[in-house]
Amino acid sequence: MSNDKRPDYSHLFAIAGGAALGYLFSQGQTEDDKKSRAERDNPDETEEVCEEIAGLLEAWDPDESCVNEADYTHDLVAFLNKHSDWEIEVFPNSPEGKPDILVGDLLALELKVGLGKAQRDRLIGQCAGYSRLWVTWAVILDASESELGRLVDLLEDKHLNHIAVWGF
């Protein structure tokens, strides 16, 4: 009779399996944590408004007479009101501040003309706050591709990649 005992590594497999499951759970939890209140409370309506407004943003051709953020905001609001049945609010007050445009109390649009460092930093703070309540998109006008790329990279680095960036 041999006393050949092989080491029992089953406890290590259990630990590794538990760690893997914990990691997967935390990743799913992190993605859920990024969801706005609108996405958690009204997922179907939120998806519907996002699909519709995304299509409208792709079709929007800003008026050439616009010279500042307020002009572009009012031009976009007029376009959305003409082509959408969603309730469109301009500069609504909220506990998180005043997004430029709020669509159906589900989607916040924050517009910026140009994208200097100060505007970019302010935009990040605004969008981070708004994204607690609503799906939040940044609509950027008159910015270079590299400025837009730096914004997207910064959002990614700050784990705010759920905030979409639309460049015009």
Q: Compute the average pLDDT of residues 17-26.
A: 50
Amino acid at 86: W
Please report the pLDDT score of residue 91 as a whole number: 95
Over the stretch 71-86, which tens digit does the pLDDT of each residue have? Answer: 999 999 999 999 999 9
- What are the phi and psi torsion angles at 109 (to 5°)? -115, 125
Mean pLDDT of the chain, nearest integer: 87
Please report the pLDDT score of residue 28 as a whole number: 45
The helix/strand/coil state of 74 is helix
CA dihedral 150, 156, 161, 164 (to 10 degrees): 10
Comparing 56 with 5, which gets the higher pLDDT? 56
Task: Name the band, by pLDDT with cuts 50, 70 and 90, for residue 11.
Answer: very low
CATH number of the domain located at residue range(s) 36-167 in this protein: 3.40.1350
**Which of 125, 111, 98, 108 minimizes the C-alpha distance to 50?**
108
Residue 156 above 50 pLDDT?
A: yes
158 vs 3: CA distance, rounded Å:
57
Q: Compute the average pLDDT of residues 18-29.
A: 49
Please report the pLDDT score of residue 53 as a whole number: 98
Q: Which residues contact 6 (CB under 8 A, 6 or more apart)?
A: none
Q: Which residues contact 107 (CB under 8 A, 6 or more apart)?
A: 38, 46, 49, 50, 53, 134, 135, 136, 137
Q: Which residue has the tokens 């029992």?
A: 8
The stretches of the chain forming alpha helices (DSSP H) are 10-34, 37-41, 43-59, 69-83, 117-130, 145-157
Give the residue extent of every domain in the chain: 6-35, 36-167
